[in-house]
Amino acid sequence: MAENILSIDTVALDEEKNALKIIDQTKLPGKVEILYLTKQEAIYEAIYLLKVRGAPAIGVAAAIGVYLAAREINESGYDGFYGKFKKAKEYLASSRPTAVNLFWALDRMEKVVLDHKGETPAKLKELLHDEAVTIREEDIWVCKSIGEYGLGLIKNGDGILTHCNAGQLATTRYGTALAPIHLGREKGMNFKVFCDETRPLLQGARLSSFEMVAAGVDTTVICDNMASMVMKNGWIKACFVGCDRVAANGDAANKIGTSGVAILAKHYGIPFYVCAPTSTIDMSIKEGSDIVIEERKPEEVTEMWYKERMAPAGVKVFNPAFDVTDNGLITAIVTEFGIARAPYTESFKTIFAKKANAGQA
Ligand code: MRU
């Protein structure tokens, strides 16, 4: 029998092979292929092409990636080592622009080097290894905690709509938006999950529904333009989505189409929850309009998944990968340190104070 996708690590460091180990998500659900990446170009490409994707998983992959780059640095002094480390960090940071976890994880890795100025490269490599492993392990705790807070917002049997994939495949384990569903399953609960297919890259159809079915959840895939109907039918009790970057005022960037779901949810009086590790909250960005939105290739819209091109040659294509949901459309933001509600500028202070009390920067 084929191995359940949920028992395979989404992203990990393979200590024997000294490689970044990922599930190639571009092949799912048809084929479960594990990749072992050692070269920086291959790690960059895996992030850019969404072989590894989802904000927390990208952060973990980058942390492991930059550690692997550091291992290869042949410098005997601190300054030479740091110069090369910085270059490797900048290279991986340029793979995707919107998910702040990428920069957050790489900055954490750089801080290790800066906090140990003057150390030998051998010692720095050891410290970087430990930090990458810690970032990955923390992600599991963070997601579990988000799942527990999120589970408190729903009841057994509820219909839940989700957009894109903010599940285990987007993190190390559990996911963010799908963590309440996974934890609920562990406690014997079940939900009716509706996965928006999520054009153009189909993360909902290919990934969320795959992992929900694997978890034994009652799962229905819908095209993005069917969300209004299922909400009107009364089938949805709550929407749960992930996010790539939250501004200080609570505006949240997530997969393109998320803001439309939030507008519909408001119209039908359905709570709309954004699940966000604190590493996804970017307090340096005042509001959503300041978040850089990645634009991707036109072929993803016109050709990908089709047997033949489905738009005339020469037509203009607009393909933003994310949109920003205004804070006013968000019922609450679920973090690992509790549930934040408007005004977010205030509630985030409480969340970050709890994080500091827990000894986390
Ligand atoms: O382009 P992707 O597939 O990386 O986009 C992913 C999303 O938009 C997720 O919802 C977000 O990163 C949160 S993952 C827990």
Tell me the pLDDT of the chain (361 aa) as tens digits: 678 999 999 999 999 999 999 999 999 999 999 999 999 999 999 999 999 999 999 999 999 999 999 999 999 999 999 999 999 999 999 999 999 999 999 999 999 999 999 999 999 999 999 999 999 999 999 999 999 999 999 999 999 999 999 999 999 999 999 999 999 999 999 999 999 999 999 999 999 999 999 999 999 999 999 999 999 999 999 999 999 999 999 999 999 999 999 999 999 999 999 999 999 999 999 999 999 999 999 999 999 999 999 999 999 999 999 999 999 999 999 999 999 999 999 999 999 999 999 988 7
Quick check: CB of 53 below 6 Å from ligand 1? Answer: yes
Residues 6+ away with beta carbon under 8 Å from 113: 81, 82, 85, 124, 127, 128
pLDDT of residue 182: 98
Calculate how far, in angstroms, residue 58's C-alpha sits from the geometric centre of ligand 1. Answer: 9
Tell me the residue type at 152: G
Quick check: CB of 254 below 6 Å from ligand 1? Answer: yes
3-class DSSP state of 216: coil
Atom of ligand 1 nearest to the CA of 321: 1
Quick check: CB of 244 below 6 Å from ligand 1? Answer: yes
CA distances from residue 15 to 139, 170, 336 in whole angstroms, order as listed? 19, 22, 28
- Assess whether 218 carries a catalytic annotation: no
CA angle (98 as vertex; 282, 162 as ends), nearest 5? 90
d(CA 58, CA 55): 5
Calculate how far, in angstroms, residue 80's C-alpha sits from the geometric centre of ligand 1. Answer: 36
Q: Which residue of 182, 203, 259 sits with most ligand 1 atoms within 8 Å of its CB, as the best mutation to test the pocket?
A: 203
d(CA 277, CA 258): 18
Calculate how far, in angstroms, residue 76's C-alpha sits from the geometric centre of ligand 1. Answer: 39
d(CA 23, CA 9): 7
Outline where the chain has alpha helix (H): 40-48, 55-71, 78-93, 100-115, 121-151, 179-186, 209-214, 227-232, 258-268, 299-302, 344-357
Calculate how far, in angstroms, residue 242's C-alpha sits from the geometric centre of ligand 1. Answer: 7
3-class DSSP state of 92: helix
pTM above 0.85, yes or no: yes
99 touches 59 (CB < 8 A) = yes
Give the 3-state secondary structure of 289-315: HHCCCCECCCHHHHCCCCCCCCCCCCC
- H or E, element range at 238: strand 238-241
CA angle (358 as vertex; 352, 361 as ends), nearest 5? 55
Quick check: CB of 255 below 6 Å from ligand 1? Answer: yes
Q: Is 79 exposed, middle or buried (0-12, 13-18, 19+ CB in 10 A)?
A: exposed
Taking residue 167's Cβ as centre, other Cβ atoms within 10 Å add up to 33
Calculate how far, in angstroms, residue 81's C-alpha sits from the geometric centre of ligand 1. Answer: 33
- Protein residue whose Cα sits closest to atom 15 of ligand 1: 166
d(CA 71, CA 335): 34
Quick check: CB of 166 below 6 Å from ligand 1? Answer: yes
pLDDT of residue 1: 60
Q: Which of 196, 244, 251, 282 is catalytic?
A: 244
d(CA 333, CA 329): 11
pLDDT of residue 251: 98
Q: Which residue of 244, 282, 325, 333 sits with most ligand 1 atoms within 8 Å of its CB, as the best mutation to test the pocket?
A: 244
